[in-house]
Amino acid sequence: MFDALSSKFTDIFDRLGKKGVLSEGDVDSALREIRVALLEADVSLQVVKEFVSVVKEKSVGGEVLKSVTPGQMIIKIVFDELVEVFGPDNTSIDLQATPPVSIMMVGLQGVGKTTTSAKLAYKLTQDENKKLLLVSLDVARPAAQEQLSILAKEAGIRSLSAILGEQPVGIASRAMKVGVSEGYDIIVFDTAGRLAIDQELMRELSEIKNIVTPKETILVADALSGQDAVNTANEFNSNVGLTGVALTRVDGDSRGGAALSIRSSTGCPIKLMGVGEKLGDLENFDAERIAGRILGKGDIVGLVEKASQVIDETEAKKSAERALKGKFTLEDLGTQLSQVRKMGDMKGIMGMLPGIGKIKKQVADANIDDKMISHQEAIIFSMTPMERKNPKLLNGKRRKRIAAGSGTSVQEVNRLLKQHKQMAQMMKKMGKSGGISGLDASVMGQLNQNFGQFRG
């Protein structure tokens, strides 16, 4: 499942990742592709719309575009939103009730209810070390009770023996009595299905529900059934009331979009997923793992966090070293400005320079605001790497281009270049004299004045 979606996302993000700097246009076209990919994967239009708008809102205008690794930041935003869509809440089976705790499995015919009931009972004996009873309430299909009892035997779990002619409500009451008298922890009820939604079935299920008062009412839904699964889920939810969904045939070759839509249209978390025909093929649904799989990345959160941390730290250190050797490039200034913006105020940049704490106050007094920093960053980002390394290349024509590219003016570009030159000189001086103590008053004054002139 999700293979097609995953390969599309991988393509989109590979392309984003290759660009050092992202424009709003880059993000827009990536979002268009994401939208198409989701729709093709059978995710409902409503969910796609919401998804894309949230990702856009978080990606554009904020910290992202100018961060050290914009491509990865956007992957992280998409990842977070996928997790959000799948349901970030605790999706494990809730067993917090006085035993015997009832779990009721409902759903259409052939979706995997009986198989999943047995798998779940098996899983709970294995994982939770509980005493389980399996009960079939399916009297509609001749071999249904027999099917469950065979699976139960295979799993080494007790199933309630059938009494000929007994109706679902009768079986359910008998099971509850046995559950209490024989000290079962959990009773899993497998119910009858229908080919389509059917009011008689809904009534039957409601009656059963009143008797067994389940802690969990799990809709078993076939991942292969696409959008139909969403409609079915809504019907069952409004008629019977669901606490969760078990998605079966996740091992199959489906487009997976239903999974993405079920949770947001019903509000019911996906709790389990069937990944094969064998008893052991039932897994807890893990939104982060699935989202990671869709994006074609393993531990994406770790990856992004580590990347931004490492890049921040090593870059900051390198640029501080270069600065003290008198090699403070525009690239270094850009790095520092990003750092500053992340830290939230101008004091940050001073904190990064060795021994400069003493003049922090003066800098603070100079009233340097964040808008100015963003402008300066934009100017640096609009330069080519060559230009950043060698500002002497920046003739009038290039400065004009950079001003246009960054949405600023040539005057602002000129001011930034002047500031950079002065900072580079100052740092070289500082490097020679071993820190702030060697700085003379005139340099500090110059610096202060220099920052002051960038105000606004």
Ligand X SMILES: Nc1nc2c(ncn2[C@@H]2O[C@H](COP(=O)(O)OP(=O)(O)O)[C@@H](O)[C@H]2O)c(=O)[nH]1
Q: Rule CB under 6 A: say whether 228 interacts with ligand X.
A: no
| Min dist. Cβ of residue 312 to Mg ion (A) | 55
Q: Rule CB under 6 A: say whether 277 interacts with ligand X.
A: yes
Report the residue from 38, 77, 101, 111 that binds ligand X according to the rule CB under 6 A. 111
Residue 114 or 225 having the CB closest to ligand X: 114
Q: Name the binder of 274 from ligand X, Mg ion, none, CB < 5-8 A by kind.
A: ligand X
| Min dist. Cβ of residue 168 to Mg ion (A) | 13
| CA-wise closest residue to 451 among 373, 381, 385 | 373
| CA-wise closest residue to 422 among 385, 398, 452 | 452
Segment lying near ligand X (by CB under 6 A), choices 1-9, 105-113, 162-170, 398-406: 105-113
| Min dist. Cβ of residue 110 to ligand X (A) | 4
Report the residue from 276, 348, 391, 405 that binds ligand X according to the rule CB under 6 A. 276
| Min dist. Cβ of residue 405 to ligand X (A) | 53
Q: Rule CB under 6 A: say whether 50 interacts with ligand X.
A: no
> What is the C-alpha to C-alpha distance for residues 403 and 410, in angstroms, rounded to an integer?
5
Q: Rule CB under 6 A: say whether 198 interacts with ligand X.
A: no
Q: Rule CB under 6 A: say whether 70 interacts with ligand X.
A: no
Structure tokens at 189: 């009820």
| CA-wise closest residue to 211 among 177, 236, 245 | 177
| Min dist. Cβ of residue 113 to Mg ion (A) | 5
Residue 51 or 189 having the CB closest to ligand X: 189
| Min dist. Cβ of residue 113 to ligand X (A) | 3
Segment lying near ligand X (by CB under 6 A), choices 14-22, 41-49, 65-73, 113-121: 113-121
Q: Name the binder of 406 from Mg ion, ligand X, none, CB < 5-8 A by kind.
A: none
Phi, psi of 64, rounded to the nearest 5 degrees: -60, -55
Q: Restricting to residues 242-271, which ones interact with ligand X according to CB under 6 A?
A: 248-249, 251-252
Q: What is the dihedral of CA 285, 289, 290, 294, to 10 degrees?
A: 180
Q: Restricting to residues 380-439, which ones interact with ligand X according to CB under 6 A?
A: none
| Min dist. Cβ of residue 276 to Mg ion (A) | 17
Structure tokens at 226: 């696409």
The residue sitting closest to ligand X, measured at its beta carbon, is 274
Helix (H) or strand (E) holding 136, with range, is strand 132-136
The residue sitting closest to Mg ion, measured at its beta carbon, is 114
Q: Name the binder of 110 from Mg ion, ligand X, none, CB < 5-8 A by kind.
A: ligand X
Q: How many residues does the chain have?
A: 456
Segment lying near ligand X (by CB under 6 A), choices 81-89, 274-282, 321-329, 412-420: 274-282
> What is the C-alpha to C-alpha distance for residues 198 and 107, in angstroms, rounded to an integer?
11
The residues near 58 (Cβ < 8 Å, ≥ 6 apart) are 64, 77, 81
Q: Name the binder of 264 from Mg ion, ligand X, none, CB < 5-8 A by kind.
A: none
Residue 111 or 260 having the CB closest to Mg ion: 111
> What is the C-alpha to C-alpha distance for residues 176 and 211, in angstroms, rounded to an integer?
8
| Min dist. Cβ of residue 78 to Mg ion (A) | 38
Q: Name the binder of 109 from Mg ion, ligand X, none, CB < 5-8 A by kind.
A: ligand X
Q: Rule CB under 6 A: say whether 114 interacts with ligand X.
A: yes
Residue 230 or 356 having the CB closest to ligand X: 230
| CA-wise closest residue to 115 among 139, 150, 141 | 150
DSSP state of 160: P
Which positions lie near Mg ion, rule CB under 5 A? 113-114
Q: Name the binder of 336 from ligand X, Mg ion, none, CB < 5-8 A by kind.
A: none
Query: Amino acid identity of 140?
Result: A
> What is the C-alpha to C-alpha distance for residues 433 and 443, in angstroms, rounded to an integer?
13
> What is the C-alpha to C-alpha distance for residues 418 and 108, in angstroms, rounded to an integer?
72
Q: Are strands 186-190 and 101-106 parallel, antiparallel or unpaired?
A: parallel
Question: E strands within 142-301?
Answer: 158-159, 186-190, 216-222, 244-248, 270-274, 282-284
> What is the C-alpha to C-alpha distance for residues 111 and 108, in angstroms, rounded to an integer?
6
Q: Name the binder of 374 from ligand X, Mg ion, none, CB < 5-8 A by kind.
A: none
Residue pair 425/440 in contact by the 8 Å Cβ criterion: no
The residues near 413 (Cβ < 8 Å, ≥ 6 apart) are 379, 394, 399, 402, 403, 406
| CA-wise closest residue to 108 among 224, 257, 254 | 224
Q: Rule CB under 6 A: say whether 445 interacts with ligand X.
A: no
Q: Rule CB under 6 A: say whether 58 interacts with ligand X.
A: no
Q: Which residues of the shown chain bind ligand X in the complex (CB under 6 A)? A: 107, 109-115, 193, 248-249, 251-252, 274-277, 281
